[in-house]
Every structure is written in C-alpha cells, then in structure tokens.
Amino acid sequence: MSTVTPVSTSTSQRKKVTTLTFRQKKERGEPITMLTAYDYPTAVAMDKAGIDSILVGDSLAMVVLGYENTLSVTMDEMLHHARAVSRGAKSALLVGDMPFMSYQVTAEEALRNAGRFLQEAGMDAVKLEGGRDRAEAVRRITGAGIPVMGHLGLTPQSIHQLGGFRAQGKTASAAKILLEDAKILEEAGAFSLVLEAVPARLAEYISKQISIPTIGIGAGAGCDGQVLVTHDLLGLFDRFTPKFVRKYADFHTEMNKAFTQYIDDVETKRFPAIEHTVEMTDEEWNEFISKK
Ligand code: KIV
C-alpha cells in the first residue's frame, strides 16, 4: 500500500437514480446505462463515471469466481459481493441478481431471498430470469415493495434447457412467446426488462409494445438502455468474449504485463527501490547496534 497522499476524489454527490428515473428516461427517449460490478473499487469508479445502474450479476460465477456457468453461485456469495458494491456506489440504482434456485421453488422463497438483497446487501432492486413461469414470483416480490427487473431471451440459468449460450427469439413462434412474456412481466409489476441475445428488430418491437424500459445486451440499439458484463468490456475475462461485446480495454493483457514486470523487478532486485523503503535515523540505528 502506498503512503503517498491520494489525489482528492471527492465530487458532489449525483442524485440517486431510482426506478422512476428509469421510467422518465424511457419517456424522454434517453438511453439508460447499466454495467455489472462485483466489488467496491469497480462500483466507486462506475458511480463516479455517472452510470445509471449497476447490476451485481450472477455472471459473478463465471467472470470472478471461475465457475463453468452461472448455476453454481449461491445467495451467500451474491450477497457478499452485493455488499461490497453498495459500499462503493451511492447514486446508481443497484440491482441484485437472484441466483439459480433462489426464486424458482416457491414465490415465498423468492420473496424471502429478494428481501435479503435489500435488507442485508443494500440493493435497490432485484433481477430474475424467465417469463410466464416467474409471473407469480414477480407479483409476490413487487407486492412487498421490492422492484423487480425481468430477464428474457438468452437466460443463462437455463443453458441446459436452451442447449447452450444461444441467441433466442429467432423464429416467428419464439418471437411471439417472447413478446407475450414481456407483456406478462410488465403486467406482473416488473419495472424493467433485460433482453439478452435476441434479434434487434424483435427487441425494438418489444420495447415499443411495453411501457417499462428494456435493457438490451446483444439485442441491438432499439432497446431503452444497454448493459454489458464489465469483465467483457474491460477485456478481463479471458475464456471467451461474446460477439455483441465492444471491448473498451484489454486489462487481461495489461495485468499480465504488470505481473511479469513485477516478477522481473523483484528477481533482478530493481524493486523495492530507495523511495519504497522506510528510513531510520543514524542516531537510532547506532543506538540499536551498540545495545545489541
Ligand atoms: O449476470 C449478468 O451479468 C446478467 C447480465 C448479462 C444482464 O444477467
């Protein structure tokens, strides 16, 4: 840890983004910005940059915890990371992603787990995957005053049913079901809806057919907002990058360079240098040596 006085990072606090802000942005045709975060420093940086919303996504399982897919991550793991994000972001609307099996068994369990995201982790809302089969859970959670974001299209918690990470809604019949599900979720009380990996013309059509904002990921520019997995955007996740991602940085390569340089510096004794060391006066040193 450096002891150098940090440059002041304090700025005047932005107004808190709420579900009402989401609705107003849709009405005004202003794109809603959302990214995922799983830790304190990322949340601080995003909030400072002016992001509308932060999703503590269950993508945590893959991009941070190294699991094969999103199915293994638990409520406790999600809450642990959600707490760190809420300590860092004060203005963005914070959405906790409900992990696999935390909301599918009963609506009561769904409500209890949704409540934990607000009560124990400082989230403002929760997100869950699925359409008509989740309507009861959405009703139950929103009935308790907890805002719910839906998620349709490629729903990673159903990869085994979908046959892998594949685009959805590409046939007329699948598109019809997707539109129906979007309307069902709206009717059940969802305040917003993620549309993942669906044809752009379908996402745009659905966005116009419902009053709640759609947040697209791999769903084209016709959605009311956009979300990306931050580790994809930063080039931090090395296993694969989905086609719909724009990489804004290559942090994996940068990290590799930095670690290689550090190892080399230590091995060749170029680090630590004199400016990284703590001094002791000659007087104290001589006293120490003489009393040895
Ligand atoms: O978990 C996640 O990061 C998500 C986004 C892909 C929307 O659900």
Which tens digits make up the pLDDT trace of 96-113? 999 999 999 999 999 999
Q: What is the pLDDT of residue 154?
A: 97
Which listed residue (77, 129, 186, 196) is catalytic? 196
Q: Is the shortest distance between the CB of 149 and ligand 1 below 6 Å?
A: no
Residues 183 and 123 grouped into a single domain? yes
Which tens digits make up the pLDDT trace of 39-57? 999 999 999 999 999 999 9
Q: How far is ligand 1, taken at its centre, from the CA of residue 244, in Å?
A: 13
Which tens digits make up the pLDDT trace of 246-258? 999 999 999 999 9
Is 8 among the domain residues?
no
DSSP for the chain, written as a single string: ---SPPPP---PPPPPP-HHHHHHHHHHTPPEEEEE--SHHHHHHHHHHT-SEEEE-TTHHHHTT--SSSTT--HHHHHHHHHHHHHH-SSSEEEEEPPTTSSSS-HHHHHHHHHHHHHTT--SEEE---SGGGHHHHHHHHHTT--EEEEEES-GGGHHHHTSS-----SHHHHHHHHHHHHHHHHHT-SEEEEES--HHHHHHHHHH-SSPEEEESS-TTSSEEEE-HHHHTT---S---TTPPP---HHHHHHHHHHHHHHHHHTT-SS-GGGS----HHHHHHHHHT-
Question: Taking 80 as the threshold, does the pLDDT of residue 10 lie above it?
Answer: no
Q: Cis bond leading into 99, ω under 30°?
A: no
Amino acid of residue 38: Y
Is 84 among the domain residues?
yes
Residues 127 and 214 grouped into a single domain? yes
Which tens digits make up the pLDDT trace of 71-86? 999 999 999 999 999 9
Residues 28 and 61 grouped into a single domain? yes
Q: What token pair was written down for 228?
A: 């990306």
Pair 133, 178: CB distance under 8 Å? no
Is 129 among the domain residues?
yes
Q: What token pair was written down for 62?
A: 């893959």
Residues 147 and 260 grouped into a single domain? no
Residues 199 and 267 grouped into a single domain? no
Nearest-CA residue for ligand 1 atom 1 is 57
Question: Taking 90 as the threshold, does the pLDDT of residue 33 lie above it?
Answer: yes
Task: Identify the band that residue 12 occupies on the pLDDT scale cut at 50, 70 and 90.
Answer: confident
Q: Residue 251 to residues 115, 153, 231, 284: CA-CA distances in angstroms?
A: 35, 29, 9, 45
CA–CA dist 258, 84 (Å, integer): 25
**Counting beta carbons within 10 angstroms of the beta carbon of residue 156, is it exposed (0 to 12), middle (13 to 18) or buried (19 or more)?**
buried
| Average pLDDT in the chain | 95
CA-36 nearest atom, ligand 1: 3
Measured CA angle at 52 (ends 48, 57), to 5 deg: 95
- Rounded to 5 degrees, φ, ψ at 66 are 80, 15
Is 81 among the domain residues?
yes
Which tens digits make up the pLDDT trace of 176-204? 999 999 999 999 999 999 999 999 999 99
**Looking at residue 154, which CATH number applies to its domain?**
3.20.20.60
Total number of domains in the chain: 2
Q: Is the shortest distance between the CB of 192 and ligand 1 below 6 Å?
A: no
Q: How far is ligand 1, taken at its centre, from the CA of residue 230, in Å?
A: 10
Which tens digits make up the pLDDT trace of 124-172? 999 999 999 999 999 999 999 999 999 999 999 999 999 999 999 999 9
Q: Is the shortest distance between the CB of 59 and ligand 1 below 6 Å?
A: yes
Q: Is the shortest distance between the CB of 129 and ligand 1 below 6 Å?
A: no
Residues 64 and 34 grouped into a single domain? yes
Q: Is the shortest distance between the CB of 232 and ligand 1 below 6 Å?
A: no
Is 130 among the domain residues?
yes
Is 219 among the domain residues?
yes
Assess whether 196 carries a catalytic annotation. yes
Residues 113 and 157 grouped into a single domain? yes
CA–CA dist 224, 211 (Å, integer): 10
Residues 86 and 196 grouped into a single domain? yes
Residues 216 and 124 grouped into a single domain? yes
**Domain membership of residue 46 as a residue range:** 19-249
Residues 137 and 279 grouped into a single domain? no
Residues 271 and 194 grouped into a single domain? no
> Both ends of the chain: CA-CA distance in Å?
31
Q: How far is ligand 1, taken at its centre, from the CA of residue 283, in Å?
A: 60
Nearest-CA residue for ligand 1 atom 2 is 57
Is 33 among the domain residues?
yes
Q: Is the shortest distance between the CB of 19 and ligand 1 below 6 Å?
A: no
Is 2 among the domain residues?
no
Q: How far is ligand 1, taken at its centre, from the CA of residue 59, in Å?
A: 6
Residues 241 and 105 grouped into a single domain? yes
